[in-house]
Amino acid sequence: MEKDATVNGSLIHMKYQQDDICDMGHLPSGVPASSAIPHAETADGLTSEQLVEDDAPDAFFFRALEQTGIRLNEPQIEAVRTTEGPVLINAGAGSGKTTVLTCRTAYLMLVKDVPPRNIVLVTFTRQAARQMKERLLSIPGVTQAMVKQIITGTFHSLARMIYFHKLTDPPRIMSEKQKEFMIEQITKELATGEQYEPETLLSLLAYLKNNLCVVGDAWVTEEVEGLKDDARRVLKRYESHKRENNLIDYEDLITGCIETLRAYPEYLAALQRRMAYIMVDEYQDTNIAQYEMIRMLSKESNLCVVGDPDQAIYGWRGAEPSIILRFPEEHAGCTRITLDINYRSPSGVVGLGNEVIRHNRKRFKKELRVLPGEAGLPKYFATRSVEKEAEAVLALIEQLVESGDYTHRDIAVLYRTHSTARTLYEKLLLSGIPFTTHRDDPTFYELSTIRPVLDFMRLSLDPYNEAALESILPCLYISKARYMKEIQIISIQQGVSYVEALRHLKALPSFQRRRLIEQVDWLHSIARLSPLQAVREIRNEAGGGYDKFLGSEQNGAVTYHKEMLRDDLFELEEAVKAFGTVSEFLSYVDTILIQKETRKKTQQAGQGVTLQTIHSAKGLEYPVVILIGAIDGVLPHSIAVDPEEKPDFWLHKKSEEKKDEAMEEERRLAYVAVTRAMKELYISSPQYFRGKPAGLSPLLLDAFNEAVKIPSSG
């Protein structure tokens, strides 16, 4: 029996058997049918047209805005008018914070007669800075000359301006490849016992700098006591080598700026006088180093920060949500303004977001409202498996487009991790449905945690595969820089494969040579195993020892995919189950990679369905959002349930505190995900995940408890 579901007021025919998909409705599977459905309260809809009297001294400004279509609501007007002293604007999702920031900047110049050169606008991205400038120029009375004088840019561009001003010979900023090459050379030079991937050490160093654990020559040792001596030696040598060669990396811009401000008090005082009005966007994503830079610059200024603690989702890369939460305490006389009217989403979507985030404790209390309109209730569906979930999503996309209401580019599929979307990605790739990924994200098989496992398999089939050998050498605790050339020479001189050449490396310690000879024999055997056996052998300490390698090599890793490495490897085990031989599986992987390249060449940029993680979707909006994998262990991720696994060893926090913080960040992720939807929101929850029963996300279950509700229609 096939299933029907209501979408956008009309029936959509779900092309699946009864056993494959549960009813699509306005309540998640597992929530009692008697439950009510959350919705957002309706705002009065009053704007500046009614709220600003014609005889007000600044009425001319608001009348001019209205002529361009900008009609501010009451809290937005308050935010624009409140120009003096410390101001915290708590801007909810879709509440028009960019409009408020640009209007406030124009208000300072046109109403308060503040010279443009005394205004600073700090953003997190160059794109946001460009958008601010463009919007400013659309406001009547604001000229190109005025906008040019405003200091508008990212934290790093502002830091660079301040830092380099005091240098007669400014340093060169290294590229990622240059940084990685330098780390490789230093590791070879120091002959460390541990094998570290450059990316791992560099991401650790960036994290430490963002937390001001490393500034110049100073290492706050008590904060990095978990760092192994070998890693510390490499990083210290890296820092000294940069100084000797007048080089810096990206994070040095902020720490260099702070050092400069501390070293030149007169310079700092001059900057403080000039920067009389500082506005900082996305303040909830600020890290400790950025906070310190702004704190120093804004001592004598009227500092206005704009952000939403409910959307603080970058703790894993050093952002510290407590910074915005402490702002009122640290700034006497702070004015707090809440932008609480959502202009993006319908009542049902905003209501769900309100109920998801309500359970967080570390936040500024707010309840988003909406303007009068359709309820736009979220729709939930459950499938038997992840495979069936992917098929259901493909069918839903096709039917939404066939309805004529949407194009492919109107639709976004969001997910917690890349591995969660592997099945959907591959089915989309082979289906011909146009789609795009965030910044051309790598396929699952190109992730740095997965690639070496595949290369073990490739070497077993082809022991002369040079690229595969280079990939796995670090996993065998053999330096690529030191031994790769020797392996090639041995292969040529003795007429053996690269794999066999490993037996003849003379410079290795005897215990390592014995282990390596065992691994060469083992490598030859992989091709005869089933793909699942092969992956497990590669991970197993008795075989490839890959899990053990990742466990030690990961020491201090903070990159997203490193933090989720076990998740990736379990997903790989799931992926290989469909294949009988290693050769078949690798052929399939190659097909996926070829299809990806073909799609890049033939598909017009930005014309397809968007596939992206929730993290990368922040700040964006789509007419239709499909959130997949809304199950316990995925959203919230298992790492939040067991935060002891999280590699933040340098942060001395109690287990319960870590768990609370991790769960609150997961809840914020869910909030960000659902509030991207402008018209329709679909949420999918597979009933089985990687062969085991999967429960509905507790973040969704919580949303149906004590909610502001409307009666369920069944």
- Binding-site positions for ATP read 91-98
Kindly write down the DSSP assignment for every residue of 31-59, as one continuous string. Answer: S-TT--EE-PPBP----HHHHS-TTSTTH
C-beta of residue 550 within 8 angstroms of C-beta of residue 635: no
- Which ranges constitute the DSSP H helices of 407-450? 422-431
Q: CB-based contacts of 609: which residues, under 8 Å, 6+ apart?
A: 397, 408, 409, 411, 412, 413, 428, 433, 434, 435, 436
C-beta of residue 315 within 8 angstroms of C-beta of residue 283: no
Please report, to the nearest 10 degrees, the dihedral formed by the alpha carbons of residues 484, 490, 492, 498 taken in order: -60
DSSP three-state, residue 97: helix
C-beta of residue 151 within 8 angstroms of C-beta of residue 119: yes
HSE (side-chain half, CA atoms, 13 Å) at 353: 34
Q: At what angle do helices 229-244 and 198-210 cross, to 10 degrees?
A: 80
Q: d(Cα 643, Cα 187) in Å, to the nearest integer?
A: 31
C-alpha dist (Å) from residue 511 to 242, 321, 516, 518? 36, 48, 9, 11
Q: CB-based contacts of 686: which residues, under 8 Å, 6+ apart?
A: 382, 383, 384, 385, 386, 388, 389, 629, 631, 694
- In the DSSP assignment, the letter for residue 284 is G
Name the β-bridge partners of 152. 121
Whether the bond into 636 is cis, omega within 30 of 0: yes
Burial grade of 249 (CB within 10 A; 0-12, 13-18, 19 or more): buried
Give binding residues as ranges: 91-98
DSSP three-state, residue 684: strand
Residue labelled with tokens 């007169």: 266
HSE (side-chain half, CA atoms, 13 Å) at 457: 27
Which amino acid does the sequence have at 268? L
Q: CB-based contacts of 350: which residues, under 8 Å, 6+ apart?
A: 39, 40, 94, 342, 368, 369, 370, 675
